[in-house]
Amino acid sequence: MTLDKPRLVQMLRTMIMIREFDERAIQLRLAGKIYGAVHPYVGQEAVAVGVCTPLAVTDRVTSNHRGHGHCIAKGADIRRMMAELFGRVDGYCKGKGGSMHIADFAVGMLGANGIAGGGLPIACGAALAAQLEGRGAVTVCFFGDGAVAEGEFHESMNIAGLWKLPIVFVCENNQYAANNAVDVQHPRPDIAAHAGAYDMPGVIVDGNDVLEVRATTADAVARARRGEGPSLLECKTYRWHFHAMRAAVPPETRSLDEIASWKGRDPIARLEQHAIDRGLLAATDVAAIRERVKADLDEAVAFAESSPFPDPKDLMIDMFAD
């Protein structure tokens, strides 16, 4: 399917926003202005945007520890996201959750999750709810190649296959679980191969090609809406930065040649070139999009800095369900 200019521009803008948000977060963490661990999504932007573009607001998404891209692609407010990273009351969790727990139910983002594989059973619950509601909603579950070694992956795939839940499992195979390469985690590094055991399609996708990701996701979402059950998409991609940072940038353990090779497949540059080749955008248009993103991020940082810290007396508020 050929995308029209407005949709393609929106996808490009969202990808740039995801990258620049996380690059800004790294800078702010080094400056001591934000708190907690930061897991950059840089390099994987085509997956979040390609997967979320075919979704409706009423469709639900679960995320993982590297969730900023998923939140932005699903429509979360970057000002409230930034305020959460700053630990301020106007953040999504009132400054108590930090980077790995951002959620916005209003746009269908059920939340990031600091537990490896923790979002998988939550996604099955959301998909079961959608099935019972009978309104055609679909759930998407993002997880990494490391989560495939967890029991939750196999339990969730099994129950989704048995009950034909309207769910799309999206494995972002960025080649590493923390610092462990995928080929030392799994006897067979193609995660999509697991799908057959659970009676669902398994598709390997170029996770750095947003148009391919979008088209493949659209097919899986349509299948789920028709009541034909789940699918497993394995998006082969790569994170450009470290697994996580706290007070300092951790040392790089991967090959610099490998990193450079993957940067040569930059998903944003590929979409920019596609738009220019089709005559939909000029280089000046791309520059204008980048300037607008920068301005929006400046505003988000200002919003976060102007928000107060939580009052210590409110420590236990919202911590327990009634």
Q: Model confidence at 8, in pLDDT bands (50, 70, 90)?
A: very high
Whether the model pTM is above 0.85: yes
Q: Model confidence at 1, in pLDDT bands (50, 70, 90)?
A: low
Tell me the pLDDT tens digit for each residue of 204-233: 999 999 999 999 999 999 999 999 999 999
Structure tokens at 228: 């034909």
Structure tokens at 264: 């040569």
32-48 burial, b at 16+ Cβ within 10 Å, e below that, comes to eebbbebbbbbbbbbbb
Tell me the pLDDT tens digit for each residue of 248-279: 899 999 999 999 999 999 999 999 999 999 99
Tell me the pLDDT tens digit for each residue of 135-144: 999 999 999 9
Q: Are the C-beta atoms of 152 and 164 separated by less than 8 Å? A: no
Q: Is the pLDDT of residue 311 over 90?
A: no
Tell me the pLDDT tens digit for each residue of 76-113: 999 999 999 999 999 999 999 999 999 999 999 999 99
Residue 322 has a pLDDT of 62
Instruction: Residue count of the chain, please give it.
Output: 322
